[in-house]
Amino acid sequence: MKLYLPYADWPKEDRACWEAAFKEGNDLFDDSGPAAHVSPRTRLQLAYAYGKFLAFLLARHKSLLAGSPAERLSHRIIEEYAEWQPPTCGEITLAIYIYHLWLTIRYMCPEKDWSWLLIISKRIKARAKKKPAKRHFVTSETLYAVGIDLMERVIAKTSAANKISITDGMNYRNGLIIALLAAVPLLRRRALAALRIGKHLVRSGDLWALEIPAEDVKTKRSQECGISAKLSAYIDLYLKQYRPRISGAGMHDYLWASNRGRPMPGSNIYATVRLCTREALGFPVNLHRFRHAAGDFWSMRDPANVRVVKDLLGHASFATPEKHYMTARSRLAGRALARTISNLVKRTPNYRYSTSRRETPT
Of 56, 272, 57, the residue nearest 175 (C-alpha): 272
Question: What pLDDT is stored for residue 276 in this prediction?
Answer: 97
Same domain, 51 and 169: no
Same domain, 155 and 211: yes
Of 261, 288, 315, the residue that ends a domain is: 288
Distance of CA 182 to the CA centre of its chain: 14
Question: What pLDDT is stored for residue 185 in this prediction?
Answer: 84
Same domain, 27 and 123: yes
Task: Indicate whether 256 belongs to any domain.
Answer: yes
Task: Indicate whether 191 belongs to any domain.
Answer: yes
How many residues are recorded in the chain? 362
Task: Indicate whether 347 belongs to any domain.
Answer: no
Same domain, 147 and 185: yes
Same domain, 83 and 219: no
Task: Indicate whether 238 belongs to any domain.
Answer: yes
Cβ-based burial of 71 (10 A; exposed 0-12, middle 13-18, buried ≥19): exposed
Q: What is the pLDDT along the chain (362 residues), one digit of tens a residue?
A: 678 899 999 999 999 999 999 998 765 555 688 998 888 889 999 999 999 999 999 999 999 999 999 999 999 999 999 999 998 899 999 999 999 999 999 999 999 999 999 999 999 999 987 666 566 788 888 999 999 999 999 999 999 999 999 999 999 999 999 999 998 888 888 889 999 999 999 998 889 999 887 766 655 666 778 899 999 999 999 999 999 999 999 999 999 999 998 999 999 999 999 999 999 999 999 998 888 887 776 666 655 554 554 455 554 544 455 555 445 554 554 445 555 555 655 555 554 434 444 444 44
Task: Indicate whether 224 belongs to any domain.
Answer: yes
Same domain, 22 and 63: yes
Task: Indicate whether 312 belongs to any domain.
Answer: no
DSSP notation for 111-168:
TS--HHHHHHHHHHHHHS-PPPP------HHHHHHHHHHHHHHHHHHHHHHT---HHH
Same domain, 271 and 180: yes
Residue 105 contacts residue 117 (beta carbons within 8 Å) = yes
φ/ψ (deg, to 5) at 312: -60, -40
Task: Indicate whether 300 belongs to any domain.
Answer: no
Domain hosting 262: range is 140-288
Q: For the chain, how far is it from start to end, CA to CA, in angstroms?
A: 75
- Compute, in degrees rounded to 10, the torsion defined by CA atoms 262, 264, 267, 269: 170
Q: CA distances (Å), 244 to each of 116, 233, 275, in order?
A: 58, 16, 23
Bridge partners for 76 per DSSP: none
Bridge partners for 263 per DSSP: 257
Same domain, 150 and 283: yes
What CATH number is attached to the domain comprising 283? 1.10.443.10
User: Into how many domains does the chain fold?
Assistant: 2
Question: What pLDDT is stored for residue 307 in this prediction?
Answer: 52
Q: CA distances (Å), 230 to each of 180, 188, 233, 235, 313, in order?
A: 11, 22, 5, 9, 21
DSSP structural state of residue 305: G
Residue 70 contacts residue 111 (beta carbons within 8 Å) = yes
Same domain, 176 and 257: yes
Of 102, 127, 152, the residue that ends a domain is: 127
Of 92, 127, 162, the residue that ends a domain is: 127
φ/ψ (deg, to 5) at 90: -80, 175
Task: Indicate whether 316 belongs to any domain.
Answer: no
Cβ-based burial of 241 (10 A; exposed 0-12, middle 13-18, buried ≥19): middle
Same domain, 11 and 119: yes
Given CA atoms 80, 82, 87, 88 in this order, what sign does their dihedral have? Answer: positive
Same domain, 75 and 163: no
Q: How far apart are CA 103 and CA 218, in angstroms?
A: 18
Same domain, 158 and 208: yes
Question: What pLDDT is stored for residue 37 in this prediction?
Answer: 86
Question: What pLDDT is stored for residue 361 in this prediction?
Answer: 40
